[in-house]
Structure 1
């Protein structure tokens, strides 16, 4: 009997010899979190930098990423999904190629279970960033000089993240998948998808999946799954409802897309990670009949900050780091820190994206105040944050109040409580950055 004090090297590699995992190091949770953390650095002697240059330094606060409490379980889940999926698709085994052959071969890989997970949360709470950082722990594309069953080199795509297009139609999703595939592989395999005059979504999705399987796609991330559904018109969303009455029902935009999702999970054996807002995830789970179909590996949520208690994550980690990112000679006075923490939560509803926006906008207000002053003032005050919320973030304050009210009726009046629209945020940041 082998001594319990001696570890067999083979026991440290549960997956054995599998070329798909040769370049994917199994990391400890601490290593994952360290690699996911991004902290922008202040320049030396901030007060000596001209205002118009300093503002550009401030914009780097947008790069700040501090792994939330959910980061470790989400990253670990993605890691397990990736490796478990590859364990059933070892290209060195003849059965793998036998079951991958054929244009419309939908034969399920032997003993490979459907694997999926869900990440939900209000828009702006960091869903996409969390999954981007989790997948970023791996190389996205691996170029193998030699590959079982293939003459010459071969590309392995470890992960692919795609936003579900607005409207959720199958051919639009196929186009999005094809465009993103060509982008990460630096190829043109799906270029013709863009100009098809009579696109057939089912055929396009089948063709894309064939290529994805052949190139050993490890995990597919579908973001903004609420786009699979019709959003009720504003008039419907603003109807006053009795307490406890559900909000507007979301309807699937294209049943062909839903059919493909079911096939993807049950037949194609490629792990799938969904992310989206609560209404979209709720509608998806209702249409898929049972929650177990899309959360076999876990159901996670990103949360808003709602406490300024010194022991809370917000105060211990996030807010503490933000306080270090004050690009002024004289930062907010220590006696005002508690008031500032409360103001930040009240004016952003604890949404990370809004907190960052408010922090940057407050600097803009402070810089404008300093330039207009005849004295050599170079500081940041609580009033700067309040003024920033009332000017730069004014458009978002009704959304913030709806979130803070925490009532279904108030929340249901908005399609998206914190706009994710690229045009909106591009205009916002341009306004902040332009002096």
Structure 2
């Protein structure tokens, strides 16, 4: 079981645990023996794969829950043959880089002394015999280059703490990998400052304050310092992403930066991985730089072709994760629609699949169709359509002029679709309420008319008075109130001009009740029946809750 220690002001470091090596070149080297074992293909697949939780019963959850479930697809990672190959190359790069940097060998101390001398001279000495090399990865944005590299690196501890090796005191940290992003301006100073910041966070050092903020130190004078720091922390591999930013560097800046990476490799045997979009391809034309970058071979990370097994593996794997209530099989038509929309770019394909499920839910169809896929493509891929057209044409030079792929963010798409769903629900609720109010008003009107006719009011007059009361006196809501007011109109107890008043009619005194009873008797009704029909007596004889029978 791995043990970890907390570095003061820094991150956690794994306590070194050494394992014997099968490769003879790696034996008796603390830096290599502290690394995880070399993995088989099966172990790589198991370690790299990431599949979201899925239960078919979740398809019957309410839409707002399923929106959350669908977002799990952002963490979906299907291992491809290229990923296995990359893991193998990176594993070799790191170990080969440590071969000539063995801390128990005499030349290790001499290298440290040489590093301090380089700082004094302001120039890096480059006569070390090195077995390190590099790797360049150039590919279209959205293919998952950075994600794959990060997942591969995450299978190893980033920082290892050494205290004793085979009975020999060894007080050292081993930073297995360091990942930097090339600054947007492509400046060497910016990249070096990123280097200082990252190490300060890992090791609790203050390199940024000591060197990065020192305006008296030029970028050139900082290079020997960076070299010595990388040597002292036993840096295993340096990964530099977004290398295409070097194309915007000042005159000669790109060549100086790339030469710096070669110098690090030559001086301390530090392997480097450079990652960029097709824009960066022209940066490696220089043979000297290309030679170092091709130590483990270049990787051209191109979009998948529809007929390739990799695309089929990818699309069939992700298609199982459907949270719509009517899932569909992956037909040729659906496969063609997804591929045509994404051009084989995994990031776009995943998001279109997510968007299509969300649109299927909000539209009420609850199934993914080619029409829904085309609809979300039309709404979400407008900004990247020129790049996708270049991909469809196969013109890599045309592709190189485009930057990162930016399609509609998932949160923004969900918010837009949610607003449509909320609006639809609101309209349905409003329509339902209106219908219920109409039914209630019609029943109230009919009930009031029936009661008035029982009191001897002609049906035509009763309908007229009830309609007038309901339209001009909205505060009158109950059938009893409507009957009372309408019957008073019939008896002439309320003048017609009062119907336009917004005030509630005054409660009549005993003389009004007597007139009601008198008028009822003239129509052959008892006093009880008159008062009941007029709403002064409850329709049914009942005992209120809480009352008692004496």
Fold equivalence (TM over 0.5): yes
Q: Compared with structure 1, are the counterparts of its residues 149 and 121 closer, same or farther at alpha carbon in structure 2 (3 Å cutoff)?
A: farther
Instruction: Quote the residue 1:331 is aligned against.
Output: 327
Greater relative contact order (CA < 8 Å, ≥ 6 in sequence): 1
Following superposition, the deviation at residue 195 of structure 1 comes to 4.4
Distance 1:202 1:150 in 2: 37
Q: Does residue 396 of the first structure (1) align with residue 409 of the second (2)? A: no
Distance 2:240 2:316 in 1: 33
Instruction: Quote the residue 1:103 is aligned against.
Output: 116
Deviations 1:335-371 (A, max 9, x none): x62111111111111111111121121122122212x
Q: Does residue 432 of the first structure (1) align with residue 413 of the second (2)? A: yes
Following superposition, the deviation at residue 294 of structure 1 comes to 1.6
Distance 1:339 1:329 in 2: 20
Deviates further, 250-259 or 59-68: 250-259
Distance 1:177 1:290 in 2: 21
2:161 to 129, 132, 143: 143
Q: Compared with structure 1, are the counterparts of its residues 150 and 277 closer, same or farther at alpha carbon in structure 2 (3 Å cutoff)?
A: farther
Distance 2:325 2:24 in 1: 52
Deviations 1:121-141 (A, max 9, x none): 111112112222222221111
Deviates further, 197-206 or 170-179: 197-206
Distance 2:217 2:360 in 1: 53
1:314 to 308, 311, 315: 311
Instruction: Quote the residue 2:345 is aligned against.
Output: 351
CA contact (8 A) 2:100 2:131 kept: no
Distance 2:24 2:220 in 1: 39
Distance 2:210 2:354 in 1: 42
Aligned pairs for 1:362-401 within 5 A: 362-370=356-364, 377-401=365-389
Following superposition, the deviation at residue 173 of structure 1 comes to 0.9
CA contact (8 A) 2:387 2:402 kept: no
2:41 to 29, 48, 65: 29
Instruction: Quote the residue 2:61 is aligned against.
Output: 49
Distance 2:252 2:391 in 1: 26
Distance 2:367 2:227 in 1: 56
Q: Does residue 17 of the first structure (1) align with residue 28 of the second (2)? A: yes
Instruction: Quote the residue 2:227 is aligned against.
Output: 209
Aligned pairs for 1:154-173 within 5 A: 154-173=172-191
Distance 1:269 1:433 in 2: 49
Following superposition, the deviation at residue 20 of structure 1 comes to 0.8
Q: Compared with structure 1, are the counterparts of its residues 415 and 83 closer, same or farther at alpha carbon in structure 2 (3 Å cutoff)?
A: same
Bigger proportion of residues as helix = 2
CA contact (8 A) 2:352 2:377 kept: yes
User: Structure 1 unaligned runs (5+)?
Assistant: 1-8, 232-249, 371-376
Following superposition, the deviation at residue 256 of structure 1 comes to 3.6
Distance 1:212 1:326 in 2: 47
Instruction: Quote the residue 2:273 is aligned against.
Output: 273
Instruction: Quote the residue 1:415 is aligned against.
Output: 402
TM-score under structure 2 length normalisation: 0.65
User: Structure 2 unaligned runs (5+)?
Assistant: 1-19, 119-123, 419-550
Aligned pairs for 1:125-274 within 5 A: 125-146=143-164, 153-191=171-209, 195-197=213-215, 200-230=218-248, 252-274=252-274
1:117 to 104, 124, 135: 135
- Kindly tell me the number of residue pairs found equivalent between the two proteins: 390
Instruction: Output the aligned Cα RMSD.
Output: 2.8
Q: Compared with structure 1, are the counterparts of its residues 57 and 224 closer, same or farther at alpha carbon in structure 2 (3 Å cutoff)?
A: same
Distance 2:168 2:210 in 1: 25
Distance 1:149 1:189 in 2: 32
TM-score under structure 1 length normalisation: 0.81
Which structure has the larger Rg? 2
Distance 1:41 1:109 in 2: 53
Deviations 1:234-265 (A, max 9, x none): xxxxxxxxxxxxxxxx9753554233223123
Q: Compared with structure 1, are the counterparts of its residues 38 and 85 closer, same or farther at alpha carbon in structure 2 (3 Å cutoff)?
A: same
Distance 1:69 1:19 in 2: 31
Q: Compared with structure 1, are the counterparts of its residues 283 and 343 closer, same or farther at alpha carbon in structure 2 (3 Å cutoff)?
A: same
Q: Compared with structure 1, are the counterparts of its residues 26 and 401 closer, same or farther at alpha carbon in structure 2 (3 Å cutoff)?
A: same
